[in-house]
Amino acid sequence: MMDNNKKMVPRIRFRGFEGNWKEIILGEIAQRVTEKNRDNKYSDTFTNSAEWGIVDQNQYFDKQISNRKNLSSYYVVKPNDFVYNPRISKQAPYGPIRHNGLDRIGVMSPLYLVFRLFEADSLYLEYYFKSTRWYKFMYKNGDSGARADRFAIKDNVFFQMPIKLPLRIEQRKVGLLLKKIDHLIVETDKVVSDTRKLKQLLLRNIFDLVWRFEGFNDPWEQRKLGKLVRELDKKVLGSLNLPIATSSRSGLWLQKDYFDRSDEKNQNTVMFHLLPKGFITYRHMSDDAKFHFNQNNFSTDVLVSKEYPVFSAIVPRDQKFILYYLNNSSSFAKFALEQKKGGTRTRLYFKNLKSFSLKVPEKSQERQNIGDLFFEFDNLIVANEKKLDQLKQLKKYLMQNMFV
């Protein structure tokens, strides 16, 4: 692919294709479908969702909305037909235009506009209508006085929509590329979801002693957390010139990223707790008695609220085990709930946390194996989440630059 800044060509284009794209109107390559479902021949009712495209109505709403006994006024929608839904939303400010990729015939409400291509590649048009290239035309030609939730445009005006097209072979290549990226996004998202589910399954079964690492048969023993960790109560001024972090259930964030702004100004005289690299902290108050413990995995020491306790494992190789135990065991969840003693918030002070009794493998190697296992799971999840985000950003970039 190469950049091209000519007037009638996209900014990004496959190599080997030259020359201007041509501009046509939608009515030159498509015709409106007005075939009604006479005698209720078809019973599969579709709906057009901005997020999911054309889907089975039963699956989308989890129930049948239309009356199956009276579908004769509905339009027949064949595979690869396009449907315009005038209902507007944040995702589709002029309503979504989607194509029927369900590979079967169904019917749609007469509130929708259905059309069928007789020229142009349907896969190319599918992604063209997912872009914003046609928004300007809708904005200029929509009728005034539309309902707040629907966009109004006359049918004959809708089919005057200008569309810029390359040769058919180039249309197909654009559509296939974007479809492949969509496939990778779906597959990567599934990997993230499946990995999370497997991690949760392992967490439950390992901490409930259902599964053990091979070669370890000794019973786990009860120990007070205070015998396994040590507190670091080092208060420093914000003028120490270290980044300020916030502990949350989604992880340890730099404050400027968590709040999408910098809150580090004018805090030189504020006292903080020092959180060195590798140490653990947590927000000590909770509305629902749920606490999340975060380790400082940044490349530098950071500052956290002086209300956040800071601690680490006495034996470094135990730290991952302790971290995952606190965040995932049912026994700690029960202990945290017991700390709620009146009021609307639960306060978990470090002196109380130290009294928590947990089951620990007798051998330190088993503790390390468990911690290392879940640490690798987290690394795998993060890597695939990063890949997923990159794929989404790539698709967004291509959608903005591969159409004229």
The answer to whether domain 20-165 and domain 221-360 are alike in fold is: yes
pLDDT tens figures, 36-50: 999 889 989 999 989
What's the confidence (pLDDT) of residue 214?
93
Q: Kindly report, residue by residue over 336-361, the tens digit of the pLDDT.
A: 998 877 667 889 999 999 999 999 99
Residue 309 has a pLDDT of 97
Q: Can you give the residue ranges of every domain in the chain?
A: 20-165, 168-196+206-214+362-404, 221-360
pLDDT of residue 241: 85
Q: How far apart (Å, rounded) are the C-alpha atoms in residues 343 and 228? A: 31
Please state the CATH superfamily assignment of the domain spanning residues 221-360 in this structure: DNA methylase specificity domains (3.90.220.20)
Residues of the chain with pLDDT under 70: 1-6, 60-69, 144-147, 260-266, 342-343
The architecture in CATH of the region 20-165 reads Alpha-Beta Complex (3.90)
- The torsion of the CA quartet 373, 379, 383, 384, rounded to 10 degrees, works out to 40
Q: Does pTM surpass 0.75?
A: yes
pLDDT recorded at residue 155: 95
**How many other C-beta atoms are found inside a 10 Å radius of the C-beta of residue 317?**
13
pLDDT at 2: 47
Per-residue HEC secondary structure of the chain comes to CEECCCCCCCCEECCCCCCCCEEEEHHHCEEECCCECHHHCCCCEEEEECCCEEEEHHHHHCCCCCCHHHCCCCEEECCCCEEECCECCCCCCCCCEEECCCCCCEEECCCCEEEEECCCCHHHHHHHCCCCCCHHHHHHHCCCCCCCCECCCCHHHHCCCEEEECCHHHHHHHHHHHHHHHHHHHHHHHHHHHHHHHHHHHHHHHHCCCCCCCCCCCCCEEEEHHHCEEECCCEEEHHHCCCEEEEECCEEEEHHHHCCCCCCCCCCCCEEEEECCCCEEECCEECCCCCCEEECCCCCCEEEECCCCEEEECCHHHHHHHHHHHHHCHHHHHHHHHCCCCCCCEECCHHHHCCCEEEECCCHHHHHHHHHHHHHHHHHHHHHHHHHHHHHHHHHHHHHHCCC
Residue 345 has what pLDDT?
83
Length of the chain: 404
149-157 contacts: CB < 8 A, separation 24 or more?
149/87, 149/88, 150/86, 150/87, 150/88, 150/95, 151/86, 151/87, 151/88, 151/94, 151/95, 152/86, 153/86, 155/32, 155/113
